[in-house]
Amino acid sequence: MNMNRKLALALTMPLLLAACGSGGAVKEAGEHGEGEAGPASEEGQIMLSAEQIKVAGIVLGRPTTGAAGALQLPATIEGDPQATQAVSAAIGGRIVALNRNFGQSIGRGQTLAVIESREAAQLQGEVEASRARLALATSNLAREERLFAQRVSPEQDVIAARTAATEARIAYRLAQQQVSAAGGGGGQLNRIAIAAPISGQVISRSVVLGQTVAADAELYRVANLSSVSLSLNLQPADAGRIRPGAPVSVSAAGRQATGKISFISPALDPVTRLVPAIALLDNRAGQWRVGEAVTASVELAGEGGSNMISVPSTAIQTVEGKSVVFVRTKGGFETVPVVLGDRSGTNVIIRSGLKGSEQIAIANSYALKAELGKGEAGEED
């Protein structure tokens, strides 16, 4: 076909399509004779010849079927819940030392902060007092045992001294545990040191030097980021096709990694009505950041995966609020409503509406949607 003929055909195409949409008879190349007209369009039908389809640039293809696909979903990198811990002040007081800042590493048991308060002085004072009482009780017990051995003191005095020493030892141990629960020694009687409960990196700091904090106020958040979690939200129907341990491929900004599904919630999120799921990723190289948005591809398993039907996203159009696919018929195309699932690569999973063997418009399907709208407008007129 020469250039003049192509240009003329392109200019007359809207007129031909308009005639088709309004019920006009159009010749079907390869289906009718030279002077034979195609069938009149019905609701949801678009009458086009093979030549018209070619000129409009509509590409035909068939749905993808089988277990070759995987769900492609948006996801978020989060700290492993089992390796993230908030560090709080067990007693109220004034912050007199902060030993770590954002991103810095900390070992388990190392001091993160020091708090100065009257309560700390009372706790530390009780430790010193109970230590002194224990020393006195231990000395009295030794003396009574010596006197009893010399037959100077009666046995009941030894028993009483032994009981007093035991009680003093318990009181001293309790005082030490109270200081330990509050954080530990801070170098002075009125100070308590807050230690890191785990080794990791500081990912949050909620206080500044000199600030007065209440008991149980969060000071730091420490996370071991050698392993991170991937937060996903699945459609309920897809959750049944994914098993714990299923491989997950994660990609973002030139980076890629693989992990495994570790948890699929047995309950739907009350707000989103989706099924939360978690996958674990190795992050010893430090390439993933908490809060980062990534794309996850989850392998399907079981019966649902083997029967999966998907079509290119360019094949999907919305007509009257419903998702439709344009299926090739003898005289043109028919709009077929479909129920969509999640993305599978560049495709969209079709839950219902297609058998998988149909020939459909997989590119430039918007031209068919536009023609369908012109046809409906013509019928109203």
Same domain, 276 and 210: no
Predicted confidence at residue 376, as pLDDT, reads: 58
Confidence of residue 301 (pLDDT cuts 50, 70, 90): low
Same domain, 129 and 219: yes
273: exposed, middle or buried (C-beta count within 10 Å: 0-12, 13-18, 19+)?
exposed
Same domain, 257 and 168: no
Same domain, 152 and 269: no
Q: Give the span between the Cα atoms of 135 and 164, in whole angstroms.
A: 11
Read off the pLDDT of residues 238-290 as tens digits, 9 standing for 90 and up: 787 788 888 888 988 888 888 899 999 999 999 999 999 999 998 888 888 88
Q: What is the CATH number of the domain that holds 10?
A: 2.40.420.20
Q: What is the CATH number of the domain that holds 286?
A: 2.40.30.170
Report yes or no: 94 and 211 within 8 Å, Cβ to Cβ.
yes
Same domain, 99 and 198: yes
The least confident of 27-41, 45-59, 94-108, 257-271 is 27-41
Same domain, 74 and 113: no
Mean pLDDT for the chain overall: 80
Q: Which of 223, 243, 263 is the last residue of a domain?
A: 223
Predicted confidence at residue 190, as pLDDT, reads: 82
Q: Give the span between the Cα atoms of 51 and 359, in whole angstroms.
A: 17
pLDDT exceeds 70 at position 375 = no
Same domain, 298 and 320: no
Q: What is the CATH number of the domain that holds 191?
A: 2.40.50.100
Predicted confidence at residue 304, as pLDDT, reads: 46
| Domain range for 280 | 70-80+225-302
Same domain, 156 and 122: yes
Q: Give the span between the Cα atoms of 196 and 113, in whole angstroms.
A: 9
221 strand-pairing partners: 86, 204
Read off the pLDDT of residues 270-280 as tens digits, 9 standing for 90 and up: 999 999 999 99
> For residue 250, which of 231, 270, 273 has the smallest C-alpha distance?
231
Question: Per residue in 167-191, is it b (16+ CB within 10 Å) or e — as a string?
Answer: ebeebbeebeebbeebbebbeeebb
- For 175-202, what is the mean pLDDT? 80
Same domain, 76 and 58: no
Number of domains in the chain: 3
Same domain, 193 and 114: yes
Read off the pLDDT of residues 319-363 as tens digits, 9 standing for 90 and up: 888 999 999 999 899 999 999 887 766 778 888 899 888 999 999
Predicted confidence at residue 29, as pLDDT, reads: 33
CA atoms within 13 A on the CB side of 373: 10
